[in-house]
Structure 1
Amino acid sequence: MPLLQALDLRRNYGDLNVLKGINLTIDSGEVVSIVGASGAGKTTLLQILGTLDRPDTGELHIDGQNVFQLNDRQLARFRNEQIGFVFQFNNLLPEFTALENVCLPGFIAGKLERDVRERAESLLSTLGLRDRLNHLPSQLSGGEQQRTAVARALINEPAIVFADEPSGNLDSRNAEDLHQLFFRLRDELGQTFIIVTHNEVLAALADRTVTIRDGVLFT
């Protein structure tokens, strides 16, 4: 069974047809990039695949769950436990340390504080941030901030991580480091990534690249 299966997803905003019947299958452990011109529907697709928005019609199955059959509260819980997000602008909370930022989704999930902190410290250490645990985001470099965001995305051991232009705000060296990190996490943890990107280098590294054009997906 695929880890993710999208079936005939459609999304309209008034008279504008943004998604026109999207079908997509993702297997566990894949790194898949989604590319396309601005306005093609990439962000809308990512928001629906990540359960941040609901389609007008169609189905989305993640890890065996038909997610849009869930009510809003159930869906929020599913999202917290099974989905991780990495955004172009890392969205770290400025008043919390790197460690605290990473812990937050675990605390929201109701996990034991000791277990959450232990996993957060382990993830940050794995990502080369052992000496930066108690630093605020403003005290971290851009690359360190994004690695902290990756650790936060992984804290609840999600089935899948969605990344929206994750290296778009980084210089070329930090972008390359982040790209390699995704594949290391795939190899070491079996993590699945779906990455929306304009970065041709990152797209080329992916196991598979799909293109969205005028609301239609081309594989």
Structure 2
Amino acid sequence: MLEATNITKSYGSLQVLKGIDVQINKKEIVSIVGASGAGKSTLLHIIGTLDKPDTGHVHINGQNIVNLQGDNLANFRNRHIGFIFQFHNLLPEFTALENVCIPGYLGKNDQKKVEARAKELLSLLGLKDRFDHHPARMSGGEQQRTAVARALINSPDIIFADEPSGNLDSHTAEELHHLFFKLRDDLEQTFVIVTHNEQLAEMADRKIEMKDGKIFSHI
């Protein structure tokens, strides 16, 4: 599904990624671990189209995403990729349902179908009674599950998560971790997750450890 080859990235004189090769298969949960500064988030942002490498190629379903620009890149990202971040990034002025619908609206999909899909996903994630709640009226776990529903709204090929449980208590984090595997099994969803959470890293189908801008080991 995803193949990245010879990915390098520097910021000024600091070389953050030093020739990364990685492959992600469909319906796979892969964790990326390593000390702070190892290059984990930089790699995630590049393979997730949020940043460009200095050298190398990234293919998702055969499409070289490094060459995409402007509207073509935005449209590809909207249709094929979902994102989950540590701090949810929900828009406070919108309800849970509205937040989940936004990527669907941006993709110019039918409004009624988008809203029906959003309700289906929120219900699946245990948020049937939170459709009309704004983020300020939801717990951290509820906000993060809303963010998961938002990532799923366009049925993406792959979801990238950057420290998705880093802002949650241990019990809520464990629930979120198990949710990822339920979504993998029920929806055949693929996840690439940067995490410092050892439990989540060990649960993954594969663990990629990074050190000093290189892949140190695959487990």
Name the TM tier (shorter chain): over 0.9
What do residues 19-60 of structure 1 show as CA deviations (whole Å, max 9, x unaligned)?
A: 000000010000000000001111111110110000011000
Residue 71 of structure 1 and its aligned partner are, at CA, apart by: 1.9
Q: Which ranges of structure 2 fall in alignment gaps of 5 or more residues?
A: none
Deviations 1:131-179 (A, max 9, x none): 1000000111110000000000000000000000000000011000000
Letter in 1 for 2:76: F
Structure 2 residue aligned with 1:134: 132
Q: 1:72 Cα shift? A: 2.4
Deviation string, structure 1 residues 79-130 (Cα, Å, up to 9, x no partner):
1111000000000000000000000000000001001000000000000000
Alignment equivalent of 1:188, drawn from 186, 189, 198 = 186
In the alignment of these two chains, the number of paired residues is 217
Quote the residue 1:75 is aligned against: 73
**2:172 paired residue among 171, 174, 188:** 174
Identify the residue that residue 66 of structure 1 maps to in structure 2. Answer: 64
CA distance in 1, matches of 2:16, 2:44: 12
Distance (Å, rounded) in 1 between the aligned partners of 2:132 and 2:61: 35
In the alignment, structure 1 residue 43 sits paired with structure 2 residue 41:
yes
RMSD of equivalent CA atoms = 0.6
Query: Which secondary structure state, in structure 2, belongs to the residue aligned with residue 166 of structure 1?
Result: coil
Which stretch shows the higher mean deviation, 72-81 or 206-215? 72-81
| Amino acid aligned to 1:71 | Q
Matched, 1:159 2:157: yes
SS of match in other structure, 1:156: coil
What is the aligned partner in structure 2 of residue 97 from structure 1? 95
Aligned pair partner of 2:23 in 22, 25, 41: 25
Counterpart code for 1:60: V
- For residue 146 of structure 1, the aligned residue among 136, 144, 147 is 144
Distance across 2 between alignment mates of 1:168 and 1:212: 19
Q: Deviations along 1:159-200, whole A, 9 cap, x unmatched? A: 000000000000011000000000000000000000000000
Q: Which runs of 4+ in 1 moved over 6 A?
A: none
Q: Percent identity?
A: 63
